[in-house]
């Protein structure tokens, strides 16, 4: 029996890791904001349960899902839990003059948590860290030639993934602490090209293209704490804090320049190596998160989370005397989320929908990029469900979780930096996750 469970888990893990190898660098559709910094950041954002509650959960212990948002909460893993999720997104991107629809899907994350002793539990997994996925085109007039236009095209893809190991320990009644050590790795490719188009024959027109290829890899660390106690006989409160330490990701940079035809085909013998194998570091700033939650230890909980990240201290090296587009000055960001979950009657055997967990939340976050000094926000509302799969026993249980988020990032306001208007993204994001819970290593007794 135990061998069968191990084989099943090994098969799921192998399938997940193989999928991750193919999808970890894929984003969720064209996002011009992913051109900045290291891309769209998913730094310590949690899993499908947290997404459905507005991205909160720092102080919300749970024994069904893997909660690595706060490493101290891994302690509440009562059974070996394996979790895998996929993520999809549809969005509309627009400014004052243009708009487009886009979307994509990718592996969300993999996680495995297990109790080790009465005071110690651990978790390991793979999740996205940042994602780069953008493509934009701009046109400008050419000085001295009113019939010519300069077409500028920018593309980027790739991203970073995080393979982590977390440990949690109970120090005293209600007090747990934890730490996460992660290996961050991945590549980011960015291309920028300029083509001059005239009113005449452009069949021989060429574009000058600059290609950046960066490989990142290094370790990052987080620490978390959680305290749980009674407010009344039927009400508990939870306090939590997580701190992500500043880290310098080692990078290897290659930059080339070449000529291409209008169709994008490289022209022979035009490639020039500007940088080859240059070493550098990308500074990722500290992240401070705080959470508070209330629950009745039975069928409901509500949480409030706050976060601050010092993106003003972000930095990537200057290459060959040219500052990378990723090194646009950024600003510190704040995020607030409020959410909760409710199961009408988790032990009801007659009505299945009374055992379903219903989740909802809202969130407001700043975007680190401020065109013309204007603050941009990401506003979102989330909801989701946790469906227990029939047939659960005290030793085995499976839960199917769904999470949905509808949000808006940015606006269309005109600024000095954005004469055609800022970029606004309206999106709906979906995540489907499966949690497998099993109690391992039980010593059988013969009576």
Given this model, what pLDDT does residue 107 score? 86
Q: What is the DSSP letter of 351?
A: -
- Which of 347, 261, 340 has its CA nearest to residue 304? 340
Most distant CA pair in the chain, distance: 96
- Give 305's pLDDT tier (boundaries 50, 70, 90): very high
CA dist 153 to 134, 256, 323, 418, 435, Å? 11, 16, 18, 16, 43
Q: Token digits for 75? A: 């302690």
Whether the CB-CB separation of 166 and 124 falls below 8 Å is answered with yes
Least confidently predicted of 98-102, 141-145, 191-195: 141-145
Phi and psi for 148 in degrees, rounded to 5?
Answer: -115, 150
Contact present, 25 and 157 (Cβ < 8 Å)? yes
CA distance 174 to 226: 8
**Residue 42 pLDDT exceeds 60:** yes
* Residue 13: φ, ψ to 5°: -65, -45
What is the pLDDT at residue 441? 54
CA distance 31 to 45: 18
> How far are the Cα atoms of 55, 222, 285 from residue 246, in angstroms, in the given order?
22, 9, 5
pTM beyond 0.75:
yes
| DSSP codes joined into one string, 295-334 | E-SSSEEEEEEEEEE-GGG-B---BTTB--GGG-----EE
CB 88 within 8 A of CB 31: no
Give me the pLDDT at residue 22, please: 42
Please determine, for residue 113, whether its predicted confidence score (pLDDT) is greater than 90: yes
Segment 89-107 shows an average pLDDT of 85
Maximum average pLDDT range among 26-35, 144-153, 253-262, 351-360:
351-360
Q: Are 412 and 95 in contact (CB under 8 A)?
A: yes
Q: Judging by beta carbons within 10 Å of its beta carbon (0-12, 13-18, 19+), is residue 105 exposed, middle or buried?
A: middle
Q: Is the pLDDT of residue 26 over 80?
A: no
Determine the Cα–Cα distance for residues 428 and 405; give it in Å rounded to an integer. Answer: 5
DSSP 354: G
Residue 414: φ, ψ to 5°: -85, 130
Structure tokens at 172: 């005293």
- Sequential DSSP letters for 11-35: HHHHHHHHHHHHHTT--SS--GGGG
How is 71-96 classified by DSSP, letter by letter?
A: GGGGGG--SEEEEEEEEEEEEEEE-S
pLDDT at 24 over 60: no
Going by C-alpha positions, the residue among 37, 21, 28 that lies closest to residue 369 is: 37
* pLDDT tens for each residue of 256-284: 988 887 777 788 888 888 888 888 888 99
Q: What is the pLDDT of residues 215-231, one digit of tens each?
A: 999 999 999 999 999 99
For residue 133, what are its two tokens?
């996925």
How confident is the prediction for the chain on average, in pLDDT? 85
| Range of 94-103, 267-276, 298-307, 324-333 with top mean pLDDT | 298-307
pLDDT over 90 (residue 137):
no
Sign of the dihedral defined by the CA atoms of residues 255, 184, 53, 343, in that order: positive
Instruction: Output the pLDDT for position 354.
Output: 94
- pLDDT for 203: 64
Residue 125's alpha-carbon distances to 40, 64, 71, 411, in angstroms, are 20, 16, 12, 35
Residues 307 and 288: beta-carbon distance below 8 Å: yes
Provide CB contacts within 8 A for 115, sequence distance 6+.
Answer: 77, 78, 79, 80, 121
Q: Which of 376, 364, 378, 365 is nearest to 417 (CA)?
A: 376
Q: What is the predicted pLDDT for the residue at 219?
A: 96
Average pLDDT over residues 199-207: 69
DSSP three-state, residue 238: strand
Distance CA 300, CA 306 (A): 21
Torsion of CA 376, 151, 30, 266, to 10 degrees: -140
Q: Is 66 left (phi over 0), alpha (psi -120 to 50) or beta?
A: beta
Confidence at residue 141, expressed as pLDDT on a 0 to 100 scale:
73
Ranked by mean pLDDT, the top range of 93-97, 220-224, 272-276, 350-354 is 220-224
In this predicted structure, the answer to whether residue 385 has a pLDDT above a threshold of 70 is yes
């Amino acid at each position: 029996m135990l061998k069968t469970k191990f084989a099943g888990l090994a098969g799921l893990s192998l399938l997940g890791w193989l999928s991750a190898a193919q999808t970890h660098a894929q984003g969720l559709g064209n996002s011009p904001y992913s051109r900045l910094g290291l891309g769209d950041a998913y730094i310590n954002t949690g899993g499908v349960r947290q997404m459905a509650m507005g991205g909160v959960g720092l102080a919300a212990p749970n024994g069904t899902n893997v909660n690595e948002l706060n490493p101290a909460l891994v302690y509440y893993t009562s059974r070996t839990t394996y979790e895998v999720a996929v993520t999809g997104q549809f969005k509309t991107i627009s400014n004052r003059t243009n708009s487009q629809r886009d979307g994509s899907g990718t592996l969300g994350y993999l996680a495995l948590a297990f109790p080790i002793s009465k005071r110690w539990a651990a978790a390991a997994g793979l999740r996205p860290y940042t994602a780069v996925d953008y493509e934009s085109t701009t046109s400008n007039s050419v000085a001295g030639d009113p019939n010519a236009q300069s077409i500028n095209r920018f593309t980027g893809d790739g991203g970073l993934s995080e393979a982590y190991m977390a440990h949690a320990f109970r120090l005293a009644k209600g007090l747990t602490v934890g730490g996460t050590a992660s290996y961050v790795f991945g590549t980011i490719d960015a291309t920028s090209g300029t083509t001059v188009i005239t009113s005449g024959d452009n069949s021989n027109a060429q574009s000058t293209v600059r290609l950046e290829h960066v490989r990142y890899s290094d370790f990052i660390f987080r620490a978390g704490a959680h305290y749980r106690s009674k407010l009344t006989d039927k009400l508990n409160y939870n306090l939590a804090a997580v701190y992500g330490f500043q880290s310098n990701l080692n990078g290897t940079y290659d930059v080339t320049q070449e000529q291409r035809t209008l169709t994008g085909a490289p022209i022979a013998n035009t490639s020039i190596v500007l940088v080859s194998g240059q070493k550098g570091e990308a500074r990722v700033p500290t992240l401070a998160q705080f959470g508070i939650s209330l629950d009745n230890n039975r069928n409901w909980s509500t949480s409030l989370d706050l976060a601050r990240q010092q993106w003003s201290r972000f930095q990537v090296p200057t290459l060959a005397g040219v500052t990378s587009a990723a090194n646009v000055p950024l600003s510190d960001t704040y995020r607030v989320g409020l959410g909760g979950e409710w199961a009408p009657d988790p032990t009801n055997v007659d009505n299945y929908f009374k055992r379903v967990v219903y989740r909802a939340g809202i969130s407001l976050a700043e975007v680190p990029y401020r065109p013309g000094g204007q603050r941009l926000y990401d506003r979102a509302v989330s909801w989701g469900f946790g469906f227990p799969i029939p047939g659960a026993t005290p030793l085995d249980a499976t839960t199917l979780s769904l999470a949905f988020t509808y949000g808006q990032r940015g606006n269309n306001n005109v600024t000095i930096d954005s004469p055609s208007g800022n970029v606004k993204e309206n999106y709906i994001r979906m995540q489907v996750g499966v949690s497998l819970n099993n109690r391992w290593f039980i010593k059988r007794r013969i009576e």
